[in-house]
Chain A
Amino acid sequence: MTKKYRFIGKTTPRKDGVAIVTGKADYIDDIHPVSMLHGKVLRSPHPHANITAIHTDKAKDAPGVRAVLTHADVPPWMTGMPRHVKVLDQRVRFVGDAVALVAADTLEQATAALDLIEVTYEPLPAVFDMDAALAPGAPQLHDIFPGNLVTDFPAFGPNTLSKVVRGDVEKGFEAADFISEGTFGYENIANPLPIEPPGVIAQWEDDQRLTVWSGTQSASWHRWIMQSKMGFPDIRAITTQCGGSFGSKNYAPQCLFYASALAKETGRAVKVCYTKDEHFGAFVLRLGSRFCGKIGMKKDGTVTAVAGDWMVDNGAFSDMSQSQIAVGCGEAQLVLNCENWNLTTKLVCTNRCPSGVIRGFGGQELESAFAPILADVMAKAQLDPVEFFKKNYVKPGGKYIWREGNLWTCRGKDYTDAMEKGAVSFGWKDKWNGWLVPTAVEGSKRTGVGIGIHGNADVGEDDSEAYIRLNADGTATIHASVSESGMGQRSSLCKMAAEVLQLPLEKVHMTPPDTLVNPFDFGLVGSRGTYAVGSAVINAAEDALKKLFERVAPELQAQPEDLDTLDARIFVKGKPEQAMGWGRAIGIMRSVTGYGEFKSDYSVPNFLALFVEVEVDTQTGAVKIKRVVTSTDAGQIIDPPSLNGQLYGALGSAGLDTAVFEETIIDKKSGHMLNMNMCDYKWRTFNELPEFENVILETPFPTHRFKAIGVGEISTSPGPGAVLMAVSNAMGQHMTDYPLTPDRILKVWGEKKGIKNETV
C-alpha cells in the first residue's frame, strides 16, 4: 500500500445506512402510486395439467375486483430461454404455477376472489427427477423441448459454452496415476431467501410507455431484457431498496408480466408483491446439479483429464439456466487447470418451481457436484488439498474457455499468497492430519477440516456506462443505473467518485436507480461492481474534471493538466493562491457532465479459498460449523465493512449452509413443496454464527484506478465442497450427499459401526 487515499480503504458511513436502520428507506411494499390496485395470482394444485375450462364470472362480480385474466386474455408476451413461457398458459407445469390473475381495490379482495375462479383440469403425468424426465416415454413439459431436454443455448451468442471439449481426454486418463469416478448430486435446489419477497408495480403511461417499480437487484434488466420479452415497449424501470437478492431478485419477469398485464387491463397501477409462500414456491430456485464422470490425476496433483456429463435440473422453466451452465463450464476450468476436457451438459425440465439466478451462478452447482470425485482422487493420491488447489487454479498466463466460447489467457493476479496466508490463519498445518483422519476426537464429538476454492472471470463482465454531473454548489451527482440490493455498492461508488473529485463524501450522491434518468448499466451482478461499474464511474469523474479544468484553465492562466481540485476549489499545482471555487468555475446556471464507460473483459478471474472446521456429533448426527476462514486478494479494499459483508455471506443464502441444512423439500409423488416457510426451510440464525475470519490481501491490480478488483460474488461457492471434505475427515468416511442432515450422518455412521435401524 504505497498510496494513501482520503476515502478508499477507510470505513465510512454507508450513505443509506441511517435510512435503513431507522425504517426510512423505501422498499417495494412502501410504494403506492395513486389509485393503485393489488394483483394476486391463482395457483395450480397440480404438478402438470391442462386447463380444460376456466370460469371467472363470479370472481369478476366480487366486491372490489377490477379485472380477472386467464390464459385466454393475457398479452402475448413471452419469457424463458429460448422464449417459450407465456404470461399464463393453458398448461400448468408445477404445483403453484400461475393459472389466473386478479386485480382488486384491496389485497384482501383480490385474494378472496381467487377462491371464486372455477377451474377444470385434466391432470397429466409429471416428472420430479431428471432420470424420470429423461426416461423414454416420459411426459413432455414443453412441446419445443422433446425429451424434456433444452438444447438451445443462445445466452451469450452463437458459441455460448454448453460443453468443454479441450485436448485429448483419452490420453489424459492414460497419463493419470489415479482416476476416480461416479455420479454425485448437488440437488438441494436451495432458495437464497432475501428478506423481502419479490414485488413489482406496473403502470402504463400510454400504449407504449410502461413504468415499473420493483424491489429488485438490477434496474436495467427490467428495461432492456423485459422490453425484448414484451414487444419493446418503452419501459422506465425504477428500483427500491430490495432487502437482499443474492442474485435471485436480479429481476422478476413473472411478477412484472402479471402486474403489467393487469395494469393494461385496468388502466391503473397494479402491485403484485409475492407472499413468502410464493417467494418459496413460485419464484426461483437454485439449479439442481448432478455430475456423472471421472477425473484423472498424477501423483504430483496434476489433473490430467476431466470427463463426464453435467446434468442440470431446470425445473419447469428458466430464462437463465443456459447462462449459468456457460459460466459454470468456465469456472470449472478456472479451478481445475487441466489440458484435457470432455465435459458435456444436459439441461432437463422437471415439474417443480422454476430456476433462476442464484449467487454462485453455475460454478457452485457444478463444483459442488463433482467435489466428492475430486476428494476421492485427492485422497487416493494422498495429496494435501490446500497444495492441490494452489497448484491447480488458473494463474496469469493460464487458459480457459469462457462463457461466450472464446479461449482467454488469464492476465489477472496470482492468488497463491492469499491461499497460503489463509491456510496459516486457519492453522491448516496443525489441523490437517491426512485424508479421512479427524483433527480431534472427544467422545462422540469429532472434528475435521476442509477447503474449497472458487474463481470467476466476471470481475470485468458486461458493459457499464455512467455520467457524473459536477454542480456549481460543489456537489457531484453520479448517474448510473445501480440498484441497492444490500451490498452497499452505491455507497462505495460514491467513495470512488469522491476520491477522484476530491470532494467530501457527503457532497457526492447518486441519482435514484431509475432507467429514465440513467445510462445503461448491466447491474451489480457477479463481482463486477468494483471493477466494471466502478471503472465507468471513475472514468466519468475523470472526464468531468478534465472538462472542468479545460473550461477554467484560461482564466487561471494555466494549462488544464497543471490544475488540481480539492473540496470544490480548483488551483494551480504548486500555486494554491492561483485558485477558483467550483461556483465560479462552473457557473450557477450551468453544470459539467462527464461520461465514463466500461467494456467487458473476461481475462481477469478472481479466486477465493474457504477453510472450514466442523464438529460432528456421531450420537445425534449434528454437524456444527465451528470456524470459517476465507482468503482472497482484493487489490485495494474500497470499503472494509462492505467487503467483509460479502465474504461473511459465504455461509447462508444458498451458500455453505447447503452442505448443512439449506434445502427445498418437495414431495416426490405430488410435487408439493413442503418446507415453504422460514421455520421448516432451515437457514442459519444469528445465535449459530461460527467464528469467521477473512484474510484479504491487497496486491495492487494494475488496470483499476485504485488497484482494486471485485470479489463479492464468489464467497458462497467453495463452501459446500469444503464442508463435505471436513465432515468426511471428521467421520473417517467419504460423505457425498448434500445437505449433511442428521439422518444422513447417523445412517453412514451406523453402517460404519454395523448398526441398522429397521424401518416399516
Chain B
Amino acid sequence: MKLFKHFDAESIDHVLEMVTATNGKTALMAGGTDLMGVLKSELLAAYPEVVINLKTIAGLDTIKMVDQECRIGATTRLTDIAASEPIQTTFPALAAAAASVGSPELRNMGTIGGNLCQDTRCWYYRYPDKMGGRIPCYRKGKGPCHAIRGENRYHAILGGKKCYAVCPSDLAIALGALDARVKVVGPTAEQMMPILDFFNVLGTVLKPDELVTEIRIPLPSKTAVQIFLKNRVRDAVDFAVVSVAVMVDQEEGVCRDARIILGAVAPTPYRAFAAEAAINGKSLNETHVAAAAEAAVKDAKPLSQNAYKIDITKALIHRALLSS
C-alpha cells in the first residue's frame, strides 16, 4: 500500500484546518473499512498525502435523543447503532440496516458517517490499479460507463444515465424512509440537508473540504411501522442486490404518509413515489400491495443482465408492506 501521513483529529475545526492546509490532498477516515480498500486498490489517480482520523474527535460517536429527534454522531459505530436500545425501539429499520452491514468485524469498525460516504462497489470503478491499470470511466471523469454494455448484474435498473453504479449504503435507505437529515460542515458554513438530497448520481454532494458530522432523525408517529429488507447473494459480507425500507402509518387500516425507499437499484437511494401513492389512503391488502410493487418498478429500464432485480424489488416491497 502506498504510504501516506496519518493525523488524529482533535476537533472538527482541526479537520477543516488540515484539509485547507494540505490543499485538499486529504482523505477523511472514520472506520476506514471502505477507504482502506479504495487506497489499497489505488482505484483513483489522486492519492491522499494525508489521512485524517475522525475517530479521535471527542463526542462524535454518540446517540442522543434531543427535542423530538435522535442525533447520531458521524463516527458512531454500526455495532453500537444496531445494539442501541432507543434505536431498536424507535427506529427498528435503522437498527436492522446497521445490523445487515458486512460482518461483525466490519460493523465494529464501520461508522454511520462512513456508511453514507462510502464509494460505490461498481466493479469496473473498483478495478485495482496494479492488475494492469485502473479502468477509466464516466464516474472517474473519463470514458463511458462500462456496465452499460458489460457485466451489469448488480447495476442500476432505475435512474441510470451516464453511470449505472448504485449507491451501496444500507443506512441511507433506512434513513431515507425515516426522513432523516444530514449535517454537513464545511470551512465557511454548515447545513442540514434531507438525506435523499445528500446523494447525487455520482456519489454524494460533499465537497472535498466538507464532512458529515451528524445524522438527525425525527421521532416517528407512534403508530408508524418501519421495515428494512435487504436482498443479497449471501447473508454476510455482502452488499444489497436490492434493499427496501418502508415507513408507513396506518389509521383504522388505512395507510398514510408512506415512505418507500429502494436501495441498490439506482445511482442514489430511490424514493418510490408511485408505490407510495398506490397505498396511501388505502388498506394494505394483497391487491394494493401488488399494485404498489408494480408501480415501484414501472419506470425500470434494466440492462442486459439485471432484469431479475425487478422481480426482487417487487418481492421485497410485497414482503415489506405485508409485514407492516
Contacts and interface: CB of A to CB of B under 8 A. Distances in A.
A, B: real partners: yes
Interface of A: 43-46, 95-96, 108, 111-112, 114, 275, 277-278, 281-282, 444, 619-622, 661, 665, 667-670, 672-680, 682, 684-688, 741-743, 746-747, 750, 757-760
A743 B305 contact: yes
Contact of A757 (B131, B149, B307): B307
A685 B237 contact: yes
B150 A669 contact: yes
Interface in B281-324: 300-308, 310-312, 314-316, 318
B109 to A, nearest CB: 15
A672 B127 contact: yes
A114 B132 CA distance: 11
Contacts of B236: 685-688
B312 A108 contact: no
A621 B132 contact: no
Nearest to B135: A672
B308 to A, nearest CB: 4
Contact of B308 (A96, A685, A747): A747
B139 interface: no
Contacts of A741: 153, 233
Interface in B72-111: 103
A667 B3 contact: no
Given A747-B308, A759-B307, A674 B1 contact: no
B121 interface: yes
Interface of B: 1-3, 37, 41, 103, 121, 123-124, 126-128, 130-133, 135, 146, 149-151, 153, 231, 233-239, 241, 300-308, 310-312, 314-316, 318
A742 B233 contact: yes
Nearest to B311: A746
A679 B37 CA distance: 11
B135 A757 contact: no
Contacts of B130: 43, 111, 114, 275, 277
Nearest to A744: B308
B132 A45 contact: yes
A684 B146 CA distance: 28
B127 to A, nearest CB: 6
Interface centre among A44, A277, A665 (most CB of B within 10 A): A277
B43 to A, nearest CB: 11
Contacts of B150: 667-670
B233 A682 contact: yes
24 contacts: A43-B131, A108-B2, A277-B131, A282-B131, A619-B315, A620-B312, A620-B315, A661-B233, A665-B123, A669-B150, A670-B150, A672-B135, A676-B128, A677-B126, A682-B233, A741-B153, A741-B233, A742-B233, A743-B305, A746-B312, A750-B311, A757-B300, A760-B302, A760-B303
B123 A687 contact: no
A669 B235 CA distance: 31
B311 A619 contact: yes
Contact of B303 (A665, A680, A759): A759
A462 B293 CA distance: 61
Contacts of B153: 741, 743
B123 A680 contact: yes
B41 to A, nearest CB: 7
Given A277-B128, A667-B150, A667-B151, A112 B2 contact: yes
Nearest to B102: A679
Contacts of B306: 743
Given A96-B131, A661-B234, A669-B149, 6 more contacts: A108-B2, A111-B130, A742-B312, A750-B311, A759-B302, A760-B302
B227 to A, nearest CB: 16
A746 B308 contact: yes
B103 A674 contact: no
Nearest to A280: B131
B275 to A, nearest CB: 17
Contacts of A668: 150-151
Contacts of A444: 315
Contacts of B133: 45
B3 A621 contact: no
A462 to B, nearest CB: 35
Contact of B312 (A621, A665, A747): A621
Contacts of A758: 302, 307
A111 B2 contact: yes
Given A277-B128, A759-B307, A674 B151 contact: yes
B237 A620 contact: no
B125 to A, nearest CB: 10
A112 B4 CA distance: 13
B41 A277 contact: yes
Nearest to B129: A115
Contacts of A114: 130
Contacts of B126: 677, 680
B301 to A, nearest CB: 5
A674 B304 contact: no
Contacts of A678: 237
A621 B313 CA distance: 12
Contacts of A688: 234-236
A684 B234 contact: yes
A453 to B, nearest CB: 27
Contacts of B314: 619
A111 B130 CA distance: 9
Given A108-B2, A661-B234, A673 B151 contact: no
B131 A675 contact: no
B311 A278 contact: no
Contacts of A674: 123-124, 127, 151
Report, nearest first, the 6 A-B pairs whose CB atoms are least far apart.
Answer: A757-B307, A619-B315, A674-B123, A743-B308, A45-B132, A685-B236
B4 to A, nearest CB: 11
A114 to B, nearest CB: 7
A384 B150 CA distance: 42
A95 B308 contact: no
B197 to A, nearest CB: 28
Given A95-B132, A674-B127, A685 B311 contact: no
